[in-house]
Structure 1
Amino acid sequence: MKNKLITLTAAITLGISGVVLAKQKPQTVYAATSAERAEMRSFVRNTLAKHHVRGSVVVIKNGEPQQISYGYGWYGKRIGNGNEKVVYPTASLQKVITGAMVIQLINETNNTNQEFSQYTKISRWYPNLKNADKITVGNLLTHTSGIVATGTEINRNTNYSEEQAIDWVVNHVNETNEAEPGTYFYNNTNYILLAGIIRKVTNQSYEQNFQTRIIDRLGLQNTYLYQNIPNYKTDAISYFWNGFNNYKDASYVKRSLASQLPGAGNLFSTPKDYYKIQVGLSNGQILSYSDFNYLTHLRSKVTDYSGGIYLKNNDTLKSAYGNLAGTHFGDWFQMTTDNQNGLVMFLNQTNNNENDEKDAGFEILNHIKPGLFNQR
């Protein structure tokens, strides 16, 4: 996960942007031949090897997903990446899911005493939070709250409940000098506070909401919040490529670290399940296409980021990147907004260089559809 300060102060009049995504066409799947699938598998594995990265990837070509894995998810036990036992931390790729649940609640509370929108000040739920009477739901969703408090990924070696993790960030914000609301600063705190809003609006935990609103709706079999990973599964171990050898400096996400990040980095999944989530964000299973447009075109946005993802190339591409401090994981997806082509890449061996990881992914993307995708 990244903390980036961009001194862009928005003159914010919150509301839906005039930009509207083109209407999504029904998804069409063109089945690849066995020879085409074999060629793609060989290309992806060779590309990962060339870049000295390891992990599990789903490539999507003409609406058809194909999972391809390389290396070990747990080298010490020789459990391969892509093994049905292995799940991976999604890191910041969780944020769009939290954002989607907020949009669900905006719809569900319409014309009720719980009604809210992207315009609503978060002082409704956080009356004691600094600047809460100036910060809106939309500001949290676009990282324009002005909150610059860091340290959410420094492991505090305490297993927090959701409520305790949220209370910690509120107290931390109140002890930190903040920027003016409207200033963009990529910060986990925004999405942890959104997890708290989900709890307060529904009177249920983020965990309960995630189960009913995401897992149950999509029938996901390999997606869990950290505390719910079953004993017959294992979360992947990450490794560092030191320029000479593979599988060095083993590290993993500790329960205490995951517990600090409800809604912003405590989700584990597989690239195949995460692809299903991306499809569900606009096909009606999680959000309708118009709701996805609302989420990704919030008026508080001052960059290409809105609601957990970046939209680029005239809204034809969507992407997000994530990692976790103290580990060597690197997660990146880039897909067309119609979900017909792209890549979901969960890496558990990297050299801790985001651009190098994306270079490997871009080679694969350019093999799927030359000239369609962005390198970064």
Structure 2
Amino acid sequence: MLSRRALLKSGVAGVFAVSTSTAGLLTLSARTAPATSANKVATSATPGAAPLQQALDAISATAAAGVLAEVRHGRWTWRGSSGVARLGTTERVPVHSRFRAGSVTKSFVATVVLQLIGERRIGLHDSLDQWLPATTAADHRITVHHLLQHTSGIVNYTNTRAFRTLYGTVDGILGLRDRTWTPAELLAFTDGQPLLFEPATSWTYSNTNYILLALIIEKVTGRPYRTEVKRRILRPLGLHDTELPGASPTITGPHPHGYLPQEQNGTLLPVDITKLNPTVTGASGELVTTTTDLNRFYQALLTGRLLRPAQLAQMRTAWTTGRDYDYGLGLQTKLLADGTRLWGHEGDIFGYQTSCWTTEDGRRQLTVAATPWGTGDLDELFDTLVTTAFASS
């Protein structure tokens, strides 16, 4: 996945990856003061509401056109937003906005796979060629476990030269925004690419792994992975504002607009990328959702409502990645300075960035989504918000 720094320097956008960069995005020549809104959802006083709003305002002031978040601490919930839903207007970001969540999709896919493992319809250590013998990635050394944890060694298709030739500029992205991609076409970007390492000997983030996992779900159930996610997760949890849109390019309902920087006459200007056919991401990053739905999902997941104890334990067995998080099976995890263990996932897709974190007991949560735009370091500002949201109160 290309970093936001690469996006700034070359006009290339990051696609449905986990953010790892330390640079912000381009700024407009003029900015309005960030619009703010907050909604306390409880009858009792909400601890720390002011610092949370200040953290959101800092994000919209320097690193995003708009941002929204939901924080849950036990019995109380706080929702807030800052900035604008559309550049060039004063339209506030609704706290119940829908947005593209990028790689957060992977947690949903992993949950379905682990449910099927719990039902003994898939084995965690089944080989890739057992389920998908016709794919060029088929290899007896690669298992379902390796795909879930990004230890397969399979090349990330969004990092291949062929993919970047198409999506390496803003003009290229805009020209392909309406194209529908099939999983086979996405996998074809990795044709002829050797493994980066022997499976289970190292770790590298690869969207290709989750394209393959979705195909395994379809092979086992006879239904598309989107159908299984809806049947097994969205409906039981009442996640009515969450969808896997397939080829549908629009975000329905209230939503902030996402942007890419495009050079025009020597000046970098925002180009609206909200409308996008997300099949280019498929099962690795197509989710459209809300902060409330994501918090509800991760709370249910981590408190055992979606997986059997054995599979939840497998999901939370993490590989040390060398980044600022470690990786379980479709879950990221990290320790805060005070020793608090968090689980969740981050995600990027053109024009949007999301971060979701939940404590192991499911009682404390944060989901934040932003539309990157500005000179500030969005990753650092997200980290500040995380620290603020999980501070002892």
TM-score of the two chains, using structure 1 as the length reference: 0.75
Q: Map of 1:208-227 to 2, 5 A cutoff?
A: 208-227=227-246
Q: Count residues in correspondence.
A: 328
Are 2:53 and 2:80, in contact at CA under 8 Å, matched by a contact in 1?
no
Q: Map of 1:76-115 to 2, 5 A cutoff?
A: 79-82=91-94, 84=96, 86-108=97-119, 110=120, 115=121
Q: Map of 1:172-211 to 2, 5 A cutoff?
A: 172-179=189-196, 180-182=198-200, 183-211=202-230
Alpha-carbon distance change, 352 to 207 in structure 1, aligned in 2, over 3 angstroms: farther
Residue 171 of structure 1 corresponds to: 188
Query: Of the candidates 116, 122, 125, which is equivalent to residue 119 of structure 1?
Result: 125
Alpha-carbon distance change, 250 to 62 in structure 1, aligned in 2, over 3 angstroms: farther
Residue 310 of structure 1 corresponds to: 332
Are 2:352 and 2:370, in contact at CA under 8 Å, matched by a contact in 1?
yes
Does 2:377 match 1:366? no
Are 1:62 and 1:341, in contact at CA under 8 Å, matched by a contact in 2?
yes
Q: CA deviation at 1:235?
A: 5.0
Are 2:152 and 2:199, in contact at CA under 8 Å, matched by a contact in 1?
yes
Residue 357 of structure 2 corresponds to: 334
Name the aligned partner's letter for residue 318 of structure 1: W
Name the aligned partner's letter for residue 345 of structure 1: V
Q: Map of 1:27-42 to 2, 5 A cutoff?
A: 33-34=44-45, 36=47, 39=50, 42=53
CA RMSD of aligned residues (A): 3.4
Alpha-carbon distance change, 138 to 334 in structure 1, aligned in 2, over 3 angstroms: same
Deviations 1:9-33 (A, max 9, x none): xxxxxxxxxxxxxxxxxxxxx9673
Q: Which 10-residue stretch deviates more, 193-202 or 123-132?
A: 123-132
TM-score of the two chains, using structure 2 as the length reference: 0.72
Deviations 1:42-61 (A, max 9, x none): 43443334544321111122
- List runs of 5+ in structure 1 lacking aligned partners: 6-29
CA distance in 1 between counterparts of 2:143 and 2:306 reads 23
Name the aligned partner's letter for residue 147 of structure 1: I
Name the aligned partner's letter for residue 328 of structure 1: G
- Identical columns (%): 21
- Tell me the SS of whatever aligns to 1:370: coil
CA distance in 2 between counterparts of 1:3 and 1:56 reads 19
Are 2:18 and 2:346, in contact at CA under 8 Å, matched by a contact in 1?
no
- List runs of 5+ in structure 2 lacking aligned partners: 1-15, 21-40, 168-172, 263-267
CA distance in 2 between counterparts of 1:201 and 1:59 reads 37
Q: CA deviation at 1:102?
A: 0.3
Alpha-carbon distance change, 223 to 249 in structure 1, aligned in 2, over 3 angstroms: same
Q: CA deviation at 1:323?
A: 0.9
Residue 25 of structure 1 corresponds to: none
Name the aligned partner's letter for residue 105 of structure 2: Q
- Tell me the SS of whatever aligns to 2:302: coil
Name the aligned partner's letter for residue 381 of structure 2: A
- Tell me the SS of whatever aligns to 1:101: helix
Q: CA deviation at 1:289?
A: 4.8
